[in-house]
């Protein structure tokens, strides 16, 4: 299920895998499986133990890089997706899993997409997920001593293997009042934008047609959550 790595630095944690890009001091992708059974487990307490990733050979960014930057330490693999296990959620606070996000984006439309993703994992029973920053676009800038790139946008790629359904999203790193589905696209579009190859060992032959398809109706969205974002999350 892993995307192809363009950097050669693949780090395997207990429940998620990442490809670290030293030039940008963050992961080009984080990939993992999300299941209904895991989401139905009792949630572990959120530890907030942000720290460098000891398994990154070239050394990861540090929390100090983000200090005073005006940007959030935005999770790529959400802590809530790994809350079924204390070790799993703790590992999501490695800085290799962070990317500089505008606060109104991290707590707004990106949060909504993460919650939608958990809804879809419950609905479809199992999802394969790859997510990360778009690093080939001209960045907003850099932060910290490590010169962490501030991406202009982010992507999320979802594949439901049992139902043979796929969808992807590209979202700008900014406040948004637009519905989540306005950002939906095909996997092919994300591959073209990022230069990455997603699920190369899964989507072969006839399955490759899924990479170019987009069926928004197959991925229902709770409109009440969108209304809550506009009224509450976007105003924080």
Determine contact, residues 78/132, Cβ cutoff 8 Å: no
In 3D space, the residue among 233, 102, 111, 103 whose CA is nearest the CA of residue 173 turns out to be: 102
Alpha carbon distance 200, 4 (integer Å): 7
Judging by beta carbons within 10 Å of its beta carbon (0-12, 13-18, 19+), is residue 127 exposed, middle or buried?
buried
Phi-psi region of 182 (alpha: psi -120 to 50; beta: other; left: phi over 0): alpha
The single residue of 75, 111, 156, 229 carrying the catalytic annotation is 75
Task: Please say if 24 is a catalytic residue.
Answer: no
Residue 62: which H helix or E strand, with range? none
Dmax (CA) for the chain in angstroms is 49
In 3D space, the residue among 48, 58, 128 whose CA is nearest the CA of residue 94 turns out to be: 48
For residue 235 the two structure tokens come to: 């105003």
Determine contact, residues 92/98, Cβ cutoff 8 Å: no
Q: What is the DSSP string of 93-151?
A: TBGGGEEEE-HHHHTTHHHHHHHHHHHHHHHHSEEEEEEEE--SSPPSEEETTTTEEE-
Kindly list the catalytic residues. 75
């Amino acid at each position: 299920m892993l995307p192809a790595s363009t950097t050669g630095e693949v780090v395997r944690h207990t429940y998620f895998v990442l490809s670290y890009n030293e030039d940008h001091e963050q992961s080009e992708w984080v990939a993992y499986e999300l299941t209904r059974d895991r989401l139905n487990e009792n949630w572990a307490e959120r530890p907030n133990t942000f720290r460098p990733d000891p398994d990154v050979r070239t050394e990861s960014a540090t929390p100090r890089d983000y200090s005073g930057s005006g940007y959030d330490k935005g999770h790529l693999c959400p802590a809530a997706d790994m809350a079924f296990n204390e070790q799993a959620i703790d590992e999501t606070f490695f800085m290799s899993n962070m990317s500089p996000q505008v606060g109104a984006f991290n707590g707004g439309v990106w949060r909504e997409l993460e919650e939608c993703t958990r809804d879809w994992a419950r609905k479809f029973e199992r999802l394969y997920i790859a997510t990360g920053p778009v690093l080939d676009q001209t960045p907003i800038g850099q932060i910290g001593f490590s010169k962490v790139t501030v991406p202009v946008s982010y992507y999320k790629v979802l594949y439901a293997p049992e139902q043979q359904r796929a969808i992807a999203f590209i979202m700008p790193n900014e406040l948004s009042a637009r519905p989540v589905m306005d950002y939906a696209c095909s996997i092919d579009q994300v591959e073209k934008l990022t230069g990455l190859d997603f699920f190369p060992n899964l989507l072969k032959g006839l399955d490759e047609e899924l990479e170019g398809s987009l069926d928004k109706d197959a991925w229902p969205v709770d409109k009440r959550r969108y209304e809550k974002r506009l009224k509450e999350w976007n105003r924080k």
